[in-house]
Amino acid sequence: MKENKLEKIINLAERRGFVFKSYEVYGGLRGFYDFGHLGVILKNNIKNLWLKDILSMQNIYLIETPIIGPRILYEASGHIENFYDRLVECKSCHNRFREDHLLKGEYGEIKIKDNKALCPLCGGELTEARNFNLMFKTFVGPVEELSTESYLRPETAQGIFINFKNILNSMRAKLPFGIAQIGKSFRNEITPKNFIFRIREFEQMEIEFFVRPEEADKYFEFWVEKRFNWYINFLGIKKENLIKHIQTEEELAHYAKAAVDVYYKFPFGEDEIEGIANRTDYDLKRHMEYSKEDLTYFDEKTKNKIIPYVIEPSAGVERIFFAILCDSYDEDEMPNEKGKLEKRIVLRFKPWLAPIQVAIFPLLSNRENLVKKAKEVYELLKNDFRVYYDESGSIGRRYRRQDEIGTPYCITIDFQTLEDNTVTVRDRDTGNQERINLEEINDYLKDKFKL
Ligand code: ATP
């Protein structure tokens, strides 16, 4: 299963409406993906679980800032000067590569000639590496000149830093406190690849956690721990599939003093789904310098003005989404209605994470009384759970369809239901069925969906 697990997951995601390639009718646009019905629900579940965790802390405040920012913002942040990848191009086939990825062998085996790497695709000579800035440029208003030059944000963080004073004053915040934002970011990646892992438009969930400089190391450790636990306890990702990657001096971004990445063991290799960085006072200082605004914090304790340090946990929604798909994808065998073992595909989502939580089936679609009762059950549950009604095909087929999209429970309304008001509840993972009275069904299910 391992060799083509990636293909199987991508295939399932497209076939069942989690993810589609963007602009496919026009031949597609590399690095962009659409999310279908189930995908949008799963994405929202991820974001809500992130919010649930951080908002329970009391000292985290939310913000939403524009995607487009003026040039000066990214001069101040250092992105115009520093946010680039090293790009090489093949002189024969004109394919372009990220030099660091090329040297790591990510595009395939590289041959060396006269001490220089050759094109991994055609063996041609490569150009010297040049800097390629990853930001998308645009202009605000009708005049295209330096003063209207703007950029799509490559991270949501800068909108947070420049709101430091607004949140501080309006929320009467005291250190340590955080400002959090969920939103789209854009990077003109040289080679988008691995399905939705490296894309050009993606969503980030970021927290800038402001602390006293002397407490930065302590809170850095706190956030590394907290974020790892979130993946395990809130998303149910298997601990053994997560890796703590400590960034080396060379890997650190221009603003960071220390960084730990959360790596997930994807079928194509282990790679980053979140980075936790100590950004020091770099960003606030730079924005003070460029904006001439006072972004200091008055410390009541010492009666001094200080510039806080920042600890930043920054996670990508699509990479987490992908990690969840990989972590929950499974193939096993289940007996069909005749008791014969049949292969099936199943997504073992945690119950609270599943896009559809309860599927409701009348045993037979041509029996009016069963259909009527099943629709009543749908009405009974629809406000408390994400439910789905299905009457088409055999019960076995309906189970398989739900297994494939990770629905943890299927309820069947049969002839006994009409007599004693009980239904069967079938568990996705074990295939076991329990008979539950409809008077108790809400409480029974609520218990199953507890985080
Ligand atoms: P990489 O080294 O893989 O390019 P990065 O270290 O530049 O990633 P960060 O700047 O730390 O990434 O961004 C924080 C998070 O945003 C990442 O952990 C990831 O989840 C997400 N992210 C960054 N770039 C992309 C991308 N091109 N596609 C999807 N998600 C991304």
User: CA distances (Å), 174 to each of 210, 211, 298, 299, 449, in order?
Assistant: 9, 9, 10, 9, 36
Whether the per-residue pLDDT at 2 is higher than 80: the answer is no
Whose tokens are 């994400």? That residue is: 386
Query: Is the minimum distance from the CB of 189 to ligand 1 under 6 angstroms?
Result: yes
- Does ligand 1 have an atom closer than 6 angstroms to the CB of 176? no
> Helices (H) and strands (E) in the chain — how many of each?
14, 26
Report the percent of the chain where pLDDT is more than 70.
99
Place of tokens 């509840």: 425
* Angle at which helices 368-381 and 441-448 cross, to 10°: 60
Query: With bands split at pLDDT 50, 70 and 90, how would you rate the model's confidence at 110?
Result: confident
Q: Given this model, what pLDDT does residue 86 score?
A: 94
Q: Give the whole-angstrom CA distance, residue 24 versus residue 29.
A: 8
Tokens (6 digits) for 47: 């974001």
CA-closest residue to ligand 1 atom 31: 316
By alpha-carbon position, which residue is closest to atom 30 of ligand 1?
Answer: 316
**Mean local confidence (pLDDT), 296-304:** 93
pLDDT band for position 126 (cuts 50, 70, 90): very high
Decide: 154 in ligand 1 pocket, CB within 6 A.
no
Nearest-Å Rg of the Cα atoms of the chain is 26
- Cα of 388 vs its chain's centroid, Å: 25
Question: Residue 4 gets which letter from DSSP?
Answer: T
pLDDT of residue 185 exceeding 80:
yes
Q: Which atom of ligand 1 is nearest to the CA of 271?
A: 3
Q: Is 184 left (phi over 0), alpha (psi -120 to 50) or beta?
A: beta
Question: What pLDDT was estimated at residue 374?
Answer: 97
Q: Mean pLDDT over residues 121-145, rounded?
A: 94
- Residue 161's pLDDT band (boundaries 50, 70, 90)? very high
**8 Å CB contact between 399 and 426:** yes
Cβ(185) – ligand 1 distance below 6 Å = no
User: Mutation test of ligand 1: which of 206, 314, 318, 321 has the most ligand atoms closer than 8 Å to its C-beta?
Assistant: 314
Phi and psi dihedrals of 313, rounded to 5?
-90, 120
pTM: 0.96
Of the candidates 169, 166, 160, 155, the one whose C-alpha atom is nearest the C-alpha of residue 310 is 160
What phi and psi values does residue 142 have, to the nearest 5 degrees? -80, -15
Q: How far apart are CA 180 and CA 186, in angstroms?
A: 18
Counting ligand 1 atoms within 8 A of each CB, the residue from 319, 322, 324 with the most, and so the one to mutate, is 319
Backbone angles phi, psi at 25, to 5 degrees: -65, -20
Indicate the residue type of 193. Answer: K
Mean per-residue pLDDT, 5-15: 97
Q: Which ligand 1 atom is the nearest neighbour of the CA of 204?
A: 16
pLDDT at 419 exceeding the cut of 90: yes
Sort 362 into a burial class: Cβ within 10 Å, 0-12 / 13-18 / 19+. Answer: buried
| 8 Å CB contact between 203 and 184 | yes
Are the C-beta atoms of 369 and 418 separated by less than 8 Å? yes
Please give the pLDDT value at position 377: 98
CA torsion 343-348-353-359 (nearest 10°) is: 40
> What does the alpha-carbon distance between residue 157 and residue 179 come to, in Å, rounded to a whole number?
9
Is 1 a residue whose pLDDT tops 80?
A: no
User: Please, which residues bridge with residue 263 across strands?
Assistant: 243, 272
Mean pLDDT to the nearest integer, 59-84: 97
What is the structure's pLDDT at 356? 98
Average pLDDT estimate for 123-127: 94
Ligand 1 atom nearest to CA at 320: 20
At residue 222 the predicted structure's pLDDT band, cuts being 50, 70 and 90, is: very high
Average pLDDT estimate for 244-265: 94
For residue 39, how far is its CA from the centre of ligand 1 (angstroms)? 20
Give the atom of ligand 1 at the shortest distance from the alpha carbon of 189: 27
Identify the pLDDT of residue 438. Answer: 97
State the CB neighbour count (10 A cutoff) for residue 100: 13
Assess whether pLDDT exceeds 70 at residue 3.
no
Packing angle of the helix pair 216-233, 37-55 (nearest 10 deg): 140
The kind and range of the H/E element at 303 are none
Confidence label for 339 from pLDDT (cuts 50, 70 and 90):
confident
| Predicted local confidence at residue 336, as pLDDT | 83
Binding site membership of 206 for ligand 1 (Cβ less than 6 Å): no
Residue 266 has pLDDT above 60, yes or no: yes
